[in-house]
Amino acid sequence: MKLELKHIASYLPYAVKIYDYNAYPVCGFFEMNHNGGTGMIAISELLASPRLYKIALRPIYDLTNEISHNGRKFIPIEALLDIETEINWSSSDHLNTDFMEKTHYTKIEGGSTFGYNESGYFYIIDKYDRYCPVKKQKELFETMYEWGIDLNGLIDQGLAIDINTIEL
């Protein structure tokens, strides 16, 4: 697969990090032309030179691992549950977060499950095994793009770098 703008466009509003082939950080995107003095690159240069530059993203399995974003540590799938339900579940001891064959989920005390399936959707299963609608799908996806979660499999295809492998 060739890296295209459609693969990275959702990350651009956020402070996505870019690294060169030596895993050396490049400052970010420059709108028009390459400017070596500032260390910024044009989006077109990133797309044209995938061997030279890569965006740093979090692998999908980070949904169930503790991450640090903007100075805050949290488990993404639990924070997404907080957004969906508007209840601060993640600061309680009522969750059991896990991963099972392309599904990242957290079980809520009482029997319900909230999760993300790598087929591309969020779900809630109640304690009676009924699927319930997730009303804030768009907001949840935007939040994952903000956190730099690789939703397009770019890391596996060598088109992005796993942020966990970079010494920060």
Per-residue model confidence as pLDDT tens digits over 80-125: 999 998 877 666 666 677 666 667 888 887 788 898 887 788 989 8
- Quote the CA–CA distance of 152 and 94 in Å, as a whole number: 31
Contacts of 68 (CB under 8 A, 6+ apart): none
Strand, helix or coil at 74?
A: strand
Query: Within this chain, do residues 66 and 142 fall inside the same structural domain, yes or no?
Result: yes
Tell me, what's the pLDDT at 46?
76
pLDDT of residue 139: 96
**53 and 64 belong to one structural domain:** no
Residues 89 and 154 both lie in one domain: no
**Cα angle at 164 between 70 and 73, to 5 degrees?**
35
Band of residue 79 on the pLDDT scale cut at 50, 70, 90: very high
- 69 & 55 share domain: no
| Domain match, 116 and 68 both | yes
Alpha-carbon gap, residue 132 to 114, rounded angstroms? 10
Number of separate domains in the chain: 2
- Give yes or no: residues 67 and 120 share one domain: yes
What is the per-residue pLDDT for 153? 92
Minimum mean pLDDT range among 3-7, 8-12, 20-24, 31-35: 31-35
Domain that holds residue 160: 5-59+150-165
Same-domain check for residues 41 and 95 = no
| Stated length of the chain | 168
Q: What is the pTM of this model?
A: 0.82
What's residue 39's pLDDT? 55
**CA atoms of 140 and 73, how far apart (whole Å):** 18
User: pLDDT tens digits for 18-68?
Assistant: 887 777 677 665 443 444 444 566 777 777 777 778 889 999 999 989 999
10 and 66 share one domain: no
Same domain, 21 and 9: yes
